[in-house]
Every structure is written in structure tokens, then in C-alpha cells.
Amino acid sequence: MSVPKSVSRSVPSAVSVAAVATSRMSIQTQGTGFTDLTADVAEFLNEVGAKEGALMLFIRHTSASLTIQENAVPSVLVDLTTALSKVAPENAGWIHDTEGPDDMPAHIKTMLTATSLQIPVLNGKLALGTWQAIYLIEHRRVPHRREIVLQFIGAT
Amino acid sequence: MSVPKSVSRSVPSAVSVAAVATSRMSIQTQGTGFTDLTADVAEFLNEVGAKEGALMLFIRHTSASLTIQENAVPSVLVDLTTALSKVAPENAGWIHDTEGPDDMPAHIKTMLTATSLQIPVLNGKLALGTWQAIYLIEHRRVPHRREIVLQFIGAT
Amino acid sequence: MSVPKSVSRSVPSAVSVAAVATSRMSIQTQGTGFTDLTADVAEFLNEVGAKEGALMLFIRHTSASLTIQENAVPSVLVDLTTALSKVAPENAGWIHDTEGPDDMPAHIKTMLTATSLQIPVLNGKLALGTWQAIYLIEHRRVPHRREIVLQFIGAT
């Protein structure tokens, strides 16, 4: 399954690292679903004058998570939600059920997706692909206030 | 599924980056299960005088992994173990079975969780949420000695 | 399930951070399967004179992803492919099917694996374990050209 490859690579660029910039973000979710944070992250990079380096997002919860996914077709997000619910269904005999039937599935979905994301920043912009957006995924049914730490390390 | 949002964000703080500090950690597991490393990571940050930046953990194995999960209720960890075993059961017709029936499921569980974690460090402390702990997950039945690299990049 | 532990840790080493070095990589895949990028990443580190720090890979796509997995036994990669197909099968009633039956499964597989990887660099070398390799996973059936950003932050 490990296939032959054809690889090319650009000449590396290098700059001095000068700064780590941090900001805490608070997001009110509307219950289960995806929230696009791409524009908010871009605004943060602009505000701190980020030029070249790495951007990290870290979510301070275990029943909501982060992912980078398709930004063009909303039905993709519906299917991603369905896929997570198939892997971690409610009422599947979970021992931990004191916080509601959607709580333990939310922890499982968080473990299988991401608690932190890292994205390169080049020329002051997120190096996302054309079809990529940054999403918070709320796994609980009820709206929650969620906290994310944004951190840029690199040249400003 | 992409929901409207209400976002607020703090004014960014910025410091100069001065150091990358690294340490190798060795953990003896007791077979399948979770080992809480949060206090060990905090001790490392204290020892290197970390102030603001990012902490990375990297596990040098493909049959054990890392996750950030609920720290309060032990039954959550039991259910997470069950969920991983449902996604990657033993004796499911895996081609690779020369290292025991728990080996291929261990590789799958590692792929679906994390080989590295990144956590912001603010004011010398891990910016974990109230209910978050850092865990090593041993996926093999038999106890193993596991190696993790800790690395802090930021201001000291 | 949270087990007793026996932890030891080396005395931390520390160096000054001086640089962030970036390169874009382009990989022609041959359709579904794993492509080993370990040697290409090592070449990049050598080229930029990386000494101590962190290496990030970021893939700019939502239907191909990254993982660190077993480098010795090819049958492991076959079973990993099977496992992902069981979690995200084709023709499972996905709403999003306009780009072919393998497209929505590819997005789900990407969400459950990794869009970015972080690996410590020590003494100019990737701190991978003996059995670890860095793989791009192509989730689509048809060959694609994929872009990855490589970024080293640390001392050069």
C-alpha cells in the first residue's frame, strides 16, 4: 500500500523568530454542529502583525473539538456529524451516563478529532488550502460557551 | 450544520521567544489503559522556567498514543477504551497478526488518536481547561516501557 | 483504567530559538494508499541546518491526510486502510455524493487522522521511534497532486 512517489519541494525560506503572541477566544455555540473560525483566526494574525511562523488553536474542553475541513459544501458537515455519531452513538451501553446520553459520545468524538490544530503562517496569511476552513465542533446538544487559546509563534 | 456564532477575544499578549527546552520521559505502563502525565509535564515546565509559549509531547511508538481527556470521572476512561475497541476489534480478520491479536488494533487506535499534543503555556502554567488531563494510552495488553519527548518553545 | 506509573525523565537541555524555516512540498500520489515522506523531511532539515526544535507538516487538503505509523511491515498499512474503510464506508447513505462515492469517505478519514504533524528535532535528527515513519495517506481512488508545507522552528 506504500506507493511510489514523485516529490518536489521549494527552496526553504528562513526568518528569525521574535515573538509568541497569545489570545483567548470565547465562542457561544448553538448546540451540535460546526462553527467556522477561519476569519477570526485571520483577524488575530493581522492584529499581532504575524509574518512567518505557526498558528496554534487549543480548545479547553473535552466535549467539543477542532478540525480543518471542507469549506464549500454544507452537506459535507452534515455527513461528518453523521459519521461521528455512527462511531460514538448514544445509548450504546456507556457506563458514564450521569451527564446525559450525549455526554459520553461527545468525549469519544473529541478523542477521535482534535483538541489542538497547527497551521503554518506564510507572508502573514494562514497557509490553508483552497477548500480548507477551521471549525470548532460542538458535540453536546445544548448550546455551550467554549474557550479557545490562539497562539502565534514566529516573526512579526 | 455550520451555526451562527457569538465570538469574543482578548487583546493579544506578546513576548520574545528565547528558548527551546527538551526532555525525554520514560513511562512504564501496566498494560491497556490510561496514564495521567499532567503533573509530570507541569514539573518539566517548572524546571525549565517556562513562562509563555507552547508545550509539545511526542510519543515514539505506534501502538501507544496520547490524548487530552476528562480528568474527573474514571468511568469516562473505561468507556473511551470500549469505544476504541469497537472501532478496532481483535480477531476482525486483520492480515497483520504475527505480533498477537492486540497488535494491529493497537496501531489503528494510535492512528485515530494522537502521536503528538500541543498545549499553550501561559504565565508558566499549562492552559488546560478545568476538566482536562494529559494521558498516555497504552493499547497493548502487556506492560511496555514507553518514551515521550517533551519540548517547550517560548519565553523562559 | 488510569493505571499506576513509573516515570523517569532526563535533565532538560535548552538552546536559543533563532529561526523558522519553511518549504512547500508537492507529492504525486498513485491513488488510495500510503506514501512514506520520512526521507524527504530529513533532507529538508539537513538543508536548513536544523539543530534543535520542532518540525511541522501541514497538508493543504481535506481528502488526504497525514499519520505517523509502523515502517517495517507493509501489511500494517493494508490493515490501516481497511480499518478506515470500515469506519467510513462508501455508499453508506452520505448526503454529499456529487464528487463520487469515495469523496465523502475521504473527508471522514481525513477528520479522523491528521491534517498536521509535529515532531521534535534533536541533534539535527527527527526524534522518531525505531518503528515510526511519516506517511501521507491518499484517501481518493484516483491519483492526485498534494501539497504539504514543511516548517522547522528552532535553533539552526
Q: What pLDDT, in 10s, does the model give residues B30-79? A: 999 999 999 999 999 999 999 999 999 999 999 999 999 999 999 999 99
**Averaged pLDDT of chain A:** 92
The predicted structure's pLDDT at residue B13: 65
- Give one word for A39, left, alpha or beta, with left for phi > 0 and alpha for psi -120 to 50: alpha
As a whole number of angstroms, the distance between CA B28 and CA C8 comes to 9
Tell me the pLDDT tens digit for each residue of B92-117: 999 999 999 999 999 999 999 999 99
pLDDT of B16 above 70:
no
Give bridge partners of residue C155 from the DSSP assignment.
Answer: C52
Which residue shows C-alpha cell 496554534?
Answer: A56
B contacts of C4 (beta carbons < 8 Å): 30
The predicted structure's pLDDT at residue C10: 74
SS3 A48: helix
- Contact B4/A at CB under 8 A: yes
Average pLDDT in the B19-26 region? 91
The residues near C39 (Cβ < 8 Å, ≥ 6 apart) are: none
As a whole number of angstroms, the distance between CA A150 and CA B83 comes to 30
C contacts of A13 (beta carbons < 8 Å): 21-23
Average pLDDT in the B142-152 region? 95
Average pLDDT in the A9-20 region? 71
pLDDT of B12 above 80:
no
Structure letter (DSSP) for residue B49: T
- Contact B110/A at CB under 8 A: no
Tell me, what amino acid is at B73?
V
Structure letter (DSSP) for residue C112: H
Facing A2 at nearest CB: one of C33, C62, C150: C33
Facing C83 at nearest CB: one of B19, B61, B108: B108
As a whole number of angstroms, the distance between CA A94 and CA B78 comes to 9
- Contact C85/A at CB under 8 A: no
- Contact C122/A at CB under 8 A: no
Q: Which three cell numbers stand for residue B63?
A: 501502538
As a whole number of angstroms, the distance between CA A103 and CA A107 comes to 7
Q: Phi, psi at residue B141, to the nearest 5°?
A: -70, -40
SS3 A111: helix
Structure letter (DSSP) for residue A122: E
Q: Phi, psi at residue B82, to the nearest 5°?
A: -60, -45
CB A138 within 8 A of CB A32: yes
**Averaged pLDDT of chain B:** 92
pLDDT of A5 above 60:
no
Question: Is the model's pTM score more than 0.90?
Answer: yes
Q: Phi, psi at residue C63, to the nearest 5°?
A: -130, 20
Tell me, what amino acid is at A84?
L
As a whole number of angstroms, the distance between CA A17 and CA C154 comes to 8
Q: What is the ipTM of this complex?
A: 0.92
Q: Taking CB atoms and an 8 Å limit, are A138 and B54 in contact across chains? A: no
- Angle, CA of B92, B107 and C23, to the nearest 5°: 140
**Averaged pLDDT of chain C:** 92
Nearest to C18 by CA among A21, A12, B52, A14: A14
A4: number of Cβ within 10 Å? 9
Among A54-63, C3-12, C25-34, C117-126, the least confident range: C3-12
As a whole number of angstroms, the distance between CA A148 and CA B12 comes to 13
As a whole number of angstroms, the distance between CA B73 and CA A111 comes to 15
Q: Taking CB atoms and an 8 Å limit, are B3 and A31 in contact across chains? A: yes
Facing A107 at nearest CB: one of B5, B76, B153: B76
Tell me the pLDDT tens digit for each residue of A106-140: 999 999 999 999 999 999 999 999 999 999 999 99
The predicted structure's pLDDT at residue A3: 52
The predicted structure's pLDDT at residue C5: 56
A54-A60-A61-A64 Cα dihedral, nearest 10 degrees: -40
The predicted structure's pLDDT at residue A156: 86
Instruction: Tell how far CA B45 is from the center of its chain.
Output: 16
- Angle, CA of A143, A126 and B1, to the nearest 5°: 30
Facing B25 at nearest CB: one of C9, C82, C128: C9
pLDDT of A81 above 80:
yes
The predicted structure's pLDDT at residue A2: 55
As a whole number of angstroms, the distance between CA A104 and CA A81 comes to 15
